[in-house]
Amino acid sequence: MTEQSRPAETATGRSAGTPVGAPTGTSAGTAGGTAGGTAGATSKPRTVPTELAALAMGVTQATIRKWASRGKLTRHGGPRRAEYDLDELFALARRGEIE
């Protein structure tokens, strides 16, 4: 891309034609996206650490780990940092499968 064909950027790093509320790196009004920048089921899960998952569900961290070991929740993250998908946690609560 040549310098002349690149859109001008403002001091915030946004293209001059991009609305202030639009996420950086995407164009406003693109088809297929949803409000908030999520792209549906194929998007990367919004994960939180065990402590925040327990807080969101109103249970202990041990309960979150127990649900993961029983297959009620999918554990994300690395070997030393467990994380859980917020949407999966909320779906579990909606189904009434919490203790």
Q: pLDDT (tens digit, 9 = 90+) per residue, 54-96? A: 999 999 999 999 999 999 999 999 999 999 999 999 999 998 8
The span from the CA of 97 to the CA of 21, in Å, is: 37
Give Rg (Cα) of the chain. Answer: 19
Structure tokens at 55: 């807080």
In 3D space, the residue among 94, 82, 80, 86 whose CA is nearest the CA of residue 36 turns out to be 86
Dihedral-angle region of residue 88 (phi above 0 means left; psi in -120 to 50 means alpha; beta otherwise): alpha
Strands, E assignment, 1-99: 47-49, 75-78, 81-85
Predicted TM-score (pTM) of this structure = 0.55
In 3D space, the residue among 56, 54, 46 whose CA is nearest the CA of residue 77 turns out to be 46
